Amino acid sequence: MSWRDDLERVLIAENALQQRVAELAVEIDQKLAGNEPLLLVCVLKGAFVFLADLIRRMEARHEVDFMEISSYGTGTASSGVVRILLDLERNIEGRHVLIVEDIIDSGRTLDYITRNLRTRQPASLHICTLLSKPSRREIDVSVDFIGFEIPDEFVVGYGLDFAEAYRNLPFIGVLKAAVCQTSKPV
């Protein structure tokens, strides 16, 4: 049985994702042209697939670094508890930083990250997210680049997981409600 059987439907097809990622790269190149070299901060784990595709479409000079944040204990609802599991390797003081995130849901994770990174005094701080669920927002965060606004449904694929599964799907899909309810998250 394939993991694909756990999906209700495809929300964003592979070609639509690839096209939008290419557009985002152009937007970033244009808007942040004066900020080279950029430091792209990839928020693990969900954003690593997006980052990998995005940087191969970008022309602006950049480096990448990684940060892992935990906002979800288990399951599909935000616990509201945010902590750093892995911190950046680099000192970002005076650097032009672009945060690369997979999805903004309540906004808690990004609010925490931006407040945390600002205390390190970067020269500039911008945010790029592949997906956003505006109807779920609890904390307002100003996002500079958004791939797609999506409805309030739990999605997986293209780096996004449920209980660590489905990250490898090349599209964004909606998980069957029965799977979210019955699977035991790790």
**Binding-site ranges for Mg ion (CB under 5 A):** 46, 102
**Catalytic residue from among 105, 111, 140, 144:** 105
**Is 173 an interacting residue with respect to ligand IMP (CB under 6 A)?**
no
Three-class SS state of 54? helix
Three-class SS state of 39? strand
**Is 62 an interacting residue with respect to ligand IMP (CB under 6 A)?**
no
CA dihedral sign, ordered 113, 67, 16, 174: negative
Is residue 90 exposed (0-12), middle (13-18) or buried (19+ Cβ within 10 Å)?
middle
**Is 104 an interacting residue with respect to ligand IMP (CB under 6 A)?**
yes
53 is known as an active-site residue: no
Q: Least CB distance from residue 103 to Mg ion, whole Å?
A: 6
Given candidates 41, 109, 122, 169, which one binds ligand IMP under the rule CB under 6 A? 109
Given candidates 78, 114, 116, 183, which one binds ligand IMP under the rule CB under 6 A? 78
DSSP letter for each residue of 64-109: EEEEEEE--SSSSS--S--EEEE--SS--TT-EEEEEEEEESSSHH
Instruction: List the catalytic residues.
Output: 105
Residue ranges in contact with ligand IMP by CB under 6 A: 46, 71-72, 78, 101-109, 154-156, 160
